[in-house]
Amino acid sequence: MLLPPFEFHEPLTIEDALELKKTLGENARLLAGGTDLLVHLKKKLITTKNLISLSRIKPLSLITREEDSVVIGACTTMAQLSSSPVIQEKFAAIKSGCDNLGTHLIRNRATIGGNACNASPAGDTLPALLIYDAMALLASSDTKREIPIANFFTGPGKSCLGPNEILTGFRLPIPGENSGAHYIQLGKRKSSEINVVNVASFLEYDPGTGKVITCRIALGSVAATPIRAGKAETALLGQTPEETAFFAAGEIARKEDCRPIDDFRGTAGYRQAMVGVLTKRTLATAYERAGGTSL
């Protein structure tokens, strides 16, 4: 399968890329690692006359630590994220998401911005972005805006990105002490497979009372977009972090938060059951990583 012909543009700055996007409009597509886009072009699922590559814009591939947050450039690859000390130390669930995505070859090309803009409900880095309360950084030639990642996804393959906007990165607040997170994905094979269910959880407890003070749970592959399990999160707040509480949160996530469908990868019932199991497991490991007792 050959790629159809197109004009290739390689701007060196974000400003030049934004100007090109504005000029070429609907006749241009943004290219990051190409692991989704080039496949779609080859299969003729989409067509375009112009590709604007973002790969040579250096600031888009940086991981920058600021005072209370870390900014991840949209073109940072899975391999870069996985080997970054600050990601390993502070954002373990992002690292797990990156390590689970595709093969070594794919992880060397695939970017976190591309994963978000592709907006698959099953995307491997998306639940982690949700539980770390990431802000998506969007720019056009006229404006810049930051929106909570929870508002970024609008449907399968759809995001709130405007026609002339580029996703430049994500800002993630650095999690506090006594907090931890974990991500688990379940597919039919161990790698290079679209997830059947993927879950990430973040937990913070008060060392004085021992109670849960922050809880964020995100579910993938069980709704039209990756979603937060709001009811399960609320139920866990103020609870003592222990197996029965995690099991109860899993039950609520399973019964009340997810909206799975049947497809050839799994039935809705199986997906629901797995939401319960993975929610409980991710919460237990998140608590352990927060310094709590191993359950």
Ligand X SMILES: Cc1cc2nc3c(=O)[nH]c(=O)nc-3n(C[C@H](O)[C@H](O)[C@H](O)COP(=O)(O)OP(=O)(O)OC[C@H]3O[C@@H](n4cnc5c(N)ncnc54)[C@H](O)[C@@H]3O)c2cc1C
- Tell me which of 34, 121, 175, 266 binds ligand X, using CB under 6 A: 34
d(CA 176, CA 125): 21
Least gap, CB of 67 to ligand X (angstroms): 25
Part in contact with ligand X (CB under 6 A); list of ranges 35-43, 209-217, 223-231, 266-274: 35-43
124 binds ligand X (CB under 6 A): yes
218 binds ligand X (CB under 6 A): no
- Tell me which of 14, 113, 130, 202 binds ligand X, using CB under 6 A: 113
Part in contact with ligand X (CB under 6 A); list of ranges 87-95, 161-169, 234-242, 268-276: 161-169
Core vs surface per residue 250-287: b (16+ CB within 10 A) or e: bbbbbeebbebeeeebbeeeebbbbbbbbbbbbbbbbb
CB nearer to ligand X: pick between 32 and 215 = 32
Part in contact with ligand X (CB under 6 A); list of ranges 64-72, 84-92, 102-110, 275-283: 102-110
Least gap, CB of 287 to ligand X (angstroms): 26
* Widest Cα–Cα separation across the chain: 63
d(CA 151, CA 226): 10
62 binds ligand X (CB under 6 A): no
95 binds ligand X (CB under 6 A): no
Least gap, CB of 225 to ligand X (angstroms): 13
- Tell me which of 71, 139, 150, 166 binds ligand X, using CB under 6 A: 166
Query: Which strand ranges, in their side-by-side order, compose the sheet holding 166-173?
Result: 63-65, 69-73, 166-173, 135-139, 144-148
d(CA 165, CA 182): 31
Least gap, CB of 73 to ligand X (angstroms): 9
Token pair of 225 as six digits = 């977009």
Return the C-alpha torsion angle 274, 278, 279, 285, nearest 10: 170
33 binds ligand X (CB under 6 A): yes
CB nearer to ligand X: pick between 110 and 245 = 110
Query: Which of the residues 181 through 200 are near ligand X (CB under 6 A)?
Result: 192
Query: Which of the residues 233 through 262 are near ligand X (CB under 6 A)?
Result: none
108 binds ligand X (CB under 6 A): no
102 binds ligand X (CB under 6 A): yes
Backbone φ, ψ for residue 125 (5° rounding): -95, -5
115 binds ligand X (CB under 6 A): yes
Backbone φ, ψ for residue 186 (5° rounding): -125, 120
The C-alpha angle with vertex 226 and arms to 149 and 236, in degrees rounded to 5, equals: 85
48 binds ligand X (CB under 6 A): no
List interacting residues with ligand X (CB under 6 A). Answer: 29-37, 39, 54, 74, 101-102, 106, 109-111, 113-115, 117-118, 123-124, 161, 166-167, 192
